[in-house]
Structure 1
């Protein structure tokens, strides 16, 4: 169902892919957009337990695309160091493939946005975090993508250097 990497030697293990997703702060969500055009949008996210969480508004291009087709991919670039003298980059990236759903239950939605907020401001107080969430609650939508397949790859130079 999912293609294997052509350069298998450069493939990241599942654990390495999950580490990239765990430490990343943003990625690009790709969906089937309007009129057959791909729709790719950069987003902040949370990865935990084989799922990706995103926030968005309750209406818009993203939700229209998800309603049309729940299949998605999400790409995170962990490293992209340009090495001009070698005409290359030392890269590491991961693509997650899966199905996405709108979190409808208010309790589940609240839990998801709280966990997402904790990722980006772990030192904040619960009271302050709740104040911000409450202020944005009405238009807030949360999406959950269940990862069905992970594919990660790194430059051969990183592989040889043993970088993780």
Structure 2
């Protein structure tokens, strides 16, 4: 990975992980076998130093991951345009790694983590929904190889 050009804006690893854990959505970037890029926003959860997301059993991102499991995943946190300064205050993090499907206990745990993050007041209903519909979804884990956070405050 290339070093960050603006070292004065580089986040400490713990701050980058905080943003990754607190983010509401991220953008998954993949490429197909011919190198055609594809970016898609999605819900996710960051647990045990990995990113997890769920998806349908077929689709564009899964086709791309089958051809090339290397991905990047970007989360933007706070952002405020400063028109009078021709600039923006922001914080963002980009993770680079490999994405693979998980199954069994790891899949079930990731789906519960997603419930806890996005539907904390509806856990019982969510668990019942997973019992009925869990088999219709895939869960993908991104094993993070490199993480960069950047902020202008």
TM class by shorter chain equals over 0.9
Q: Distance in 1 between matches of 2:104 and 2:14?
A: 32
- Structure-1 residue corresponding to 2:120: 122
Q: Distance in 1 between matches of 2:116 and 2:35?
A: 36
Identify which range, 61-70 or 31-40, moves more after superposition. Answer: 31-40
1:79-118 map, 5 Å? 79-103=78-102, 105-118=103-116
Cα offset, 1:23, TM superposition? 0.8
Cα offset, 1:84, TM superposition? 1.1
Q: Distance in 1 between matches of 2:81 and 2:8?
A: 21
Q: Distance in 1 between matches of 2:23 and 2:127?
A: 24
TM-score normalised by length of structure 1? 0.88
Please list the CA deviations of residues 76-132 of structure 1 after superposition, one character each: whole Å capped at 9, or x if unmatched. Answer: 0012101111111111100001111011x333211211111111122324x311122
Cα offset, 1:9, TM superposition? 1.1
Q: Distance in 2 between matches of 1:108 and 1:76?
A: 23
- Structure-1 residue corresponding to 2:150: 153
- Structure-1 residue corresponding to 2:23: 24
Structure 1 unaligned blocks of 5 or more: 159-164
Q: In angstroms, what is the RMSD of aligned CA positions?
A: 1.3
- Structure-1 residue corresponding to 2:137: 140
Q: Distance in 1 between matches of 2:91 and 2:25?
A: 14
TM-score normalised by length of structure 2? 0.94
Identify which range, 107-116 or 15-24, moves more after superposition. Answer: 107-116
Retained in 1: the 8 A contact 2:32–2:68? no
- Structure-2 residue corresponding to 1:76: 75
Structure 2 unaligned blocks of 5 or more: none
User: In the alignment, is residue 3 of structure 1 matched against residue 5 of structure 2?
Assistant: no
Cα offset, 1:33, TM superposition? 2.9
